[in-house]
Structure 1
Amino acid sequence: MEQQVKILAVDDRYENLLALNSILASSSYDVISLQSGEEALRYLLKEPADHIAVILMDVQMPGLSGFETVELIKQRKACQDIPIIFLTALSTSIEHVLRGYHVGSIDYLFKPVHPKMLRMKVDGFVNMHLNHQKLKAQSELLHKRTLDLEETNRKLAEAEEKLIEQNLLLENWVEERTSELVDAHEKLMNSQEHFKKMFILSPSLMAIRRLPDLTYLDVNESWKQHTGYGDEVIGTALNLLRDDLNNSTKYGDIVRNEKVRYVTKSGDIRTALLSTEIIDIEDENCLLHVAVDITESLRFETEMARLAQLNLVGEMAAGIAHEIRNPMTTIRGFLQLFQENDRHMQKEYIPIMLEELDRANDIITEYLSLAKNKQSYQRPESINRIIESLLPLIQAEAVMSGKHVNGQFGYCPEIQLDDKEMRQLILNMCMNGLEAMSIGGTLSIETYQEPEHVVLLIADQGSGIKTEHLEKLGRPFFTTKDEGTGLGLAICYSIAARHHATIEVSSSPNGTTFFIRFPLHSK
């Protein structure tokens, strides 16, 4: 259904609007009565301008005059083509008439208006509006058909271009195939030349063997120098390479960096990393052997590992001797004292001697806790439950030293834990954190879940750990405390290793944070 054509009648007098409605009453259009210029502007802002055939505008109105209203209407692009007829009973001078035409009106009528003349003028503008709308619709339809025709022509042009391209491709196909064959032959020759140079000059041991009989076709200089075998192996199937189980490499096997042994012509047994690849030489399948001799590297690594173990044993022995010598010295001194004095001194000093023996025993026990093969009894446990059971003890220790403890425990599922070892780890780290802070500091204990881990965070507000000490954390007998054994944190690292957990450290002058990440799924 088409939108009904509208006529705007703008007059501040209600009786004038009634007269205009009576004159223009028609089923072909709708007369909209508005009593001010402001109301007319608001209406035009809300309603589509292309539905309005003509505006009948009174000149003299309170507020915005007819002239001012029309000037504002014409400033809006959508309303610039609406015909406007001024109606006035007062402004009859030629200056007002000219101003009316100047601001954009199409006619200027004086009241009282002849009804039939007004009706004929309005009907004329309505017919012009309807014809304009029809022309606009026809123009849009014509534009659409023009676009469709252009699109059809474009597709035809594209089809023609493709046909021309296909013809050109077809014409050039033979020439291109010929050129490609020539290029391929040149590339093949170049590739063979490059391969030959690489084969001859490569520092790796290289040999080419025919498939399936594995007879040697060629070996390079490095092969000859390392194995001692040269042209005498050409044409034979002698296999010098053995895997770690002393088995010959299998026929046609493709391997990557497999450790093998080979026996030189002089009888020496050497080690190499072998890689193989099936290649095509003159339309014949061949097996390319590429081996890198690692005999000297393995000897160097073995010697370095042995020296590292000896160094570690020496450091640990020195640490244990240093820590146990002190209580042993105390006990020896008291025994000498007993030997030189009366026996009544025994009751006074025996508790001290027993305490020193217990101290030495504790050091040995802590040292044994570092063992990787120590039995760990792990079962599904809640890390939050373990921390909450230890929290009163940690808080009591903090209160005694004038410090604070802050705990935030997020949801964490049960994971495989050894209850006793976890208590030892948590207490050791929390006590270290409390000792690192001055009075008034806060120790933070948090737990939360990551996609693959449950995380335990322990953070202090101490002065931090020096950069040169960070890489030594967890090393047995390394400590920055005056009376520490250097085993506490090392034990924590050992417990974490037995739980397949990792420990990360972040330190600054404002404090140190330890992140212990436990895997959600046991390994």
Structure 2
Amino acid sequence: MIPTEAPIDRPTESAPRQRASILMVDDHSSNLLALEAILEPLGQELVKATSGEEALKFLLQRDFAVILMDVQMPGLDGFQTAALIKQRERTRTIPIIFLTALSRDAAHIFKGYAHGAVDYLLKPFDPEILRSKVSVFVDLFLKEQQLQRQAALLRQKEREALERQNELRYRRLLDSLPECMWAARADGTMYYANQVWRSYTGRENGDLSLELFLEDVHPTERDAMRAVWDAAVKQGARQEREFRLRRKDGVWRWHLARAVPERDENGRMAGIIAVATDIDDKKRTEDALARFKATLDATLDCVLMFEPEKLTLTYANAGAARQLDVAVEELLGGSILKVESGVDEEGFRRLLAPLLSGTLPSQTYTTTHRRRGGSEVPVEVVLQYVAAGEGQGRFICVARDVTERQRAEAALRMANEAKDAFLAAASHELRTPLAAAKGHAHLAMLKLGGQTENGPGKSLTIINRQIDRMTKLVEELLDISRLQAGRLSLELERFDMAGLVRETCERMSVLAQAHPLRVDAPEKLEGLWDRGRLDQVLTNLLSNAIRYSPDGGEVAVRLVEEDAGVHLMVKDRGVGIPPEKQGLIFERFGRAHGSKYGGLGLGLTISQGIVEQHGGRIWVESRGVAGEGSTFHVWLPREVAQASAAAQASLSVPQHQVSAG
């Protein structure tokens, strides 16, 4: 029985205001300053770390309420640091919020949660939202500290209570419990409430009654709580109900109330004991999970979860039901193999093995999913394994319908093939009239006796030059067609590369009056290559160096011999190439500066094809700063026949459908 004596006075204990520590990890000091400005209003201790290693050192020295972690850092990145934090017993429960400007796709988000993140915010983020999220974890941390102190105080009071009379011992015990507690007689009349409830509601004085209790219950739930209390009194049975209880500062928090009948030695109901447990934080977490599930259900992608042993589906979102034309309930409990139609169980388990062992973080592959009626839908799948500590983990499968994408790719492929066929045909057809025009222009110039300074002779010179330019463009189009069709052949011969470099530079110097050409090459450097094609590559690089240096400046050409090949460098002092566009210039019709400097954007594509056909490689170095220019590098093996054979062998290796995430 709950004692009925008057409450015993206890000295109040004043404790200094507790502060939590927040760890901010980012390799950019500007980001740390920004985070400090956002979180300073919380009034907590802010600790800054500029690397994952420094963050781990801080974690050895103190406890933190929450960690804000940047994903991309030198050395240990955010994911690796989080994995090490979760391996340590003392720090594994610290919540981690990832802050990143990384891709938004599902693979990166699941990777963050797989490494123990409680949230994954993409930059730029709302400071108020970040501050709100951090304040929740700070409150949880401080509350946990408070509960630990209360538990220690409870143990102390229990030891003291053993020395007192039973009634006094029970009262002290009830008053020290963290939950609000009430006691009532068999007729439902309340006669006792513990100190926790009085402190929580601020009702330190006054007679206790059901009406007084209901005044602190949310208005929308008072009638329901009255009905629960009446049912407990009349039926003498256990009753439970969630409700909101007002704290003395006016804040409403969710509680779980349990009313349990108290019986005497004869089994008759002697009274009721009621306890209310604060579940507000749990309720908010459940609401957050519900919102997350609603988000998954709203996505068009198919999201499935299955356990690794029996491959049984444990979760399916609404997108899965739409994609597979089947109810979610029908999917749950079935095998993932009923959905995956492109592989048998043995092959599927081989696919899962590197994820289970941790060798790969995720798998990305294309397959088909089987619908209810037997039809199949092509999908791109991202598969990831999420461990569960000591328990069994689960696989998460996100499948996107790529039917429309495949149709678009097929249409684009057909359009490219048609375009290539047209370019090849048009180039061949243009060669005949160009050759005829070239011949007639040459014949006309002969009849004029070489008078090309003025009159018809000058016009014929201009016509002849434009015919040469048109012929070069046609040849480039033909070379592109040959590259696309794999018909660009090499005529290998042994010759002196150094001589070719000097000869080409002398020829180009006539066109480069404002661009002195400086050649640094050995006396002789022989090898087995296609002389005509390498002349074409070097001519193209020199032409580009001149064209993209409108203010003039020296063009340096250097040829050096290396162990297994030769290294050719062409450096100019022109406009340079921005780093983000350096991959574009080797694509067909790709130009870093648009049409400002002329050209079709085919020369570097053809040059790359010629160099790779030799078994070499071509690349560029440039900061994109005007005046600093660019440096193009060409590396070629000394024995092209062997290198080409090796390249062809590498091209014959089949491409797998699955790629590591």
Question: Normalised by the shorter chain, which TM-score bucket?
Answer: 0.3 to 0.5
CA radius of gyration, larger in:
1
Q: State TM-score, norm by structure 2.
A: 0.36
Greater helix share, structure number: 1
Q: State TM-score, norm by structure 1.
A: 0.43
